[in-house]
A and B are shown apart, each in its own frame.
Chain A
Amino acid sequence: MSARGAPTLEVDPHATTPWQRLHPLSPIVRAGRHLVSVGAVVLAGVIGSQRAHGDHCWELVGIGVGIVAGIVAWLVTRWRLVDGVLHIESGLLNRSSSRYPLNRVQAIDIAQSGLARILGLAELHLRMAGGGDTGRLACLTLARATELRDELLVIARAERSPAGDGLQVSAAMPEALPPTGNAQDLGTGPPLVVTDTVRLVLGTLTSGVGLVAVIVCAAFAVGLAMFPSAARAIAAGGIWPVIGLAGALWKRFNGDYRLTVHATDAGFQLRSGLVQTASEMISRGRIQLVRLRQPLLWRRFGWCRVEVEVAGRKVKKENRAEGRASRPLLAVGSLEVGKAILSNVAPEAPECSLRPPRRACWKAPLSMRHLAIGSNQRYIAARRGRLEATTTWVPLAKVQSIRATEGPVQRRLGLATVHLDVAGSHACATLQDRDTREALDLLARLPAECAAGRRSPAT
């Protein structure tokens, strides 16, 4: 439990502290993520308009209103500890007063955005059992945040132990808590994988939104080279898509930057981020589905990406990696590393070896070369995809419902598609274009096999 080796704190769990405010610089940090977009808008306005300098009073008024709102928000936000319960009050018009009983805290995270790092501040996030609601103290100084986290943890343990209800999170808690906001130092043994930065840059630029950005930039360069006279018009017209793409690219890159995964018996400890860092604990039981993705260009380099789909509501977070239901375990890496991670997440996961009948190429000419399924007593595997090959593994114990579809073309060819749904928004394994007899057989035997999987959960 106390592997952290920190000096034991003398904290009275039933103490009542006076109301306290957050750090006075916190409005700046909280506005931080909007500053970039505001700056971009102002910049675009300056470039795009022919107005004289000093004619930007509306922008100034907007910024002034934002500053005042930030200061007011800081003034009305306060927190205190009462008998093992954290009270947070905030809001001027929408007054909200939240209570976070510390005995039900699942994890306490310290997160630092880029601006907060410069100012030496940090945010404290309380993750409650049952998911959903997150208590946020933004921001405190890093030293105070660390101290407060340790204090809260001591109280949480003191509140929990006499009851003896043996919350399963208590064992996982030390791992769930980052020692500091710094992504480098972790005291829990060697990581399972650390994403290589050079490979991440190359990988991001050769797949998905990165590839689109590269193509758009190339198109602009060609346009500028061919029509130098129209440079201004091209720049004015192109600035918005470029800003949007750059934002999306940045989010993806930052979310995956130095993604470090530590595997424990309880689950996986993830941390990532260049400017906004995030850390998270995913327990093995929450994993609904594992996905191995091989975008078109990555297959030439033998690279892949491994993601897991996690049960629970989506929460909007600054760091993209935290906010989505699907979390990468490997942002980009070689296929061997991907397979190694897969065998850790889903031991004895089957290979995709059963190909669909040849006639499926009339219905799915592009995906035909990727289509395959595989299964054993615990998992179903399915590969599909036109340009990007995606292999999905679903534990039979997690299947929520089974659907079969048969379109008009499929009916003529004697094919059918079977979907296995798991918890989450449209997370499913799709066994695409199987022979209809095979699909009927799957429909007949899968419900019983899933029920068997539910009764004997992973050992």
Chain B
Amino acid sequence: MATLNQFGEDEHWLRPSPQLWRMRRLQASIVAALAMAAAGAVVGIHTVWWLGLAAVAGVFCIALVALRALRRRVHSWQYLERDDDLMVAHGLMVRRLSVVPYGRMQFVDVVAGPFERIFGIATLHMHTAAAASDAVIPGLGAAESQRLRDALSRLGEAHAAGL
């Protein structure tokens, strides 16, 4: 049966840097560690100590499963520069695919939070006049994000159209 994944199968899609998964893994691990500590402390103090240990183990198992899902989710990001537009696809459960014509881009910005700076990556946002078109590419390496930003703004100027 046809799925959205079949769109542009034979094209050369680009993917975010592997650093993105390392960063997400670190963030998720921190959250999981905090959740394990909290669950262990709450259950352990209010009941007996071995129930607390069981709670920690339970949260650990949940975290492992969640981490596997997160890994596949992070690896689902991909983007494709075409002649007249940029395509961004992501999502596992809900697959999303956006097409943003270069001529419609109002501006492009590159944002890097503290975690992203540690891992040397950045997130690229493409803004159009429509609030709903949320074309975002996370986890681009420094060189790639520069290249893409410059290419997009050059193409945007070349294709520019009024509202």
Q: Is B6 an interface residue (CB 8 A)?
A: yes
Q: Which partner residue on chain A sits nearest B93 by CB separation? A: A408
Q: Is A332 an interface residue (CB 8 A)?
A: no
Give 7 nearest A-B pairs by CB, closest first: A401-B133, A423-B129, A421-B130, A400-B130, A436-B2, A402-B99, A400-B128
Contact with B94, one of A407, A421, A422, A454 (Cβ below 8 angstroms): A407
Distance (whole angstroms) from the CB of B13 to the closest CB of chain A = 14
Residues of chain B lying within 8 A (CB to CB) of residue A451: 84, 101, 103
Q: Is B85 an interface residue (CB 8 A)?
A: yes
Distance (whole angstroms) from the CB of B39 to the closest CB of chain A = 29
- Contact A411 B3, CB 8 Å, known A400-B133, A423-B129, A450-B101: yes
Instruction: Pull 9 A–B residue pairs with CB atoms less than 8 Å apart, ordered by A.
Output: A401-B132, A404-B97, A421-B132, A427-B132, A428-B130, A439-B4, A440-B6, A451-B101, A454-B161
B interface residues, Cβ below 8 angstroms from A: 1-4, 6-7, 84-85, 91, 93-101, 103-104, 128-133, 135, 161, 163
A403 to B104, CA, bound (A): 14
Distance (whole angstroms) from the CB of B23 to the closest CB of chain A = 26
A403 near B129 with CB under 8 A, answer no
Distance (whole angstroms) from the CB of B158 to the closest CB of chain A = 13
B84 near A421 with CB under 8 A, answer no
Distance (whole angstroms) from the CB of A109 to the closest CB of chain B = 23
Distance (whole angstroms) from the CB of B1 to the closest CB of chain A = 5
Residues of chain A lying within 8 A (CB to CB) of residue B97: 403-405, 443
Q: Which partner residue on chain B sits nearest A454 by CB separation? A: B161
A403 to B128, CA, bound (A): 13
Q: Which partner residue on chain A sits nearest B94 by CB separation? A: A407
Residues of chain B lying within 8 A (CB to CB) of residue A398: 163
Q: Which partner residue on chain A sits nearest B96 by CB separation? A: A405
Question: DSSP class of A's interface residues: helix, strand, loop or mixed?
Answer: mixed
A421 near B99 with CB under 8 A, answer no
Contact with A447, one of B96, B101, B130 (Cβ below 8 angstroms): B101
Q: Is A138 an interface residue (CB 8 A)?
A: no
Residues of chain A lying within 8 A (CB to CB) of residue B133: 400-401, 403, 421
A 430-459 binary contact with B (CB < 8 Å = 1; else 0): 000001110110011011101100100000
A435 to B2, CA, bound (A): 9
Residues of chain A lying within 8 A (CB to CB) of residue B85: 447
Q: Is A321 an interface residue (CB 8 A)?
A: no
Residues of chain B lying within 8 A (CB to CB) of residue A422: 129-130
A192 to B12, CA, bound (A): 53
A400 to B98, CA, bound (A): 11
A451 to B160, CA, bound (A): 11
Distance (whole angstroms) from the CB of A97 to the closest CB of chain B = 30
A407 to B130, CA, bound (A): 23
A411 to B94, CA, bound (A): 9
- A residues 120-166 touching B (CB-CB < 8 Å): none
Distance (whole angstroms) from the CB of B72 to the closest CB of chain A = 14
A400 to B96, CA, bound (A): 17
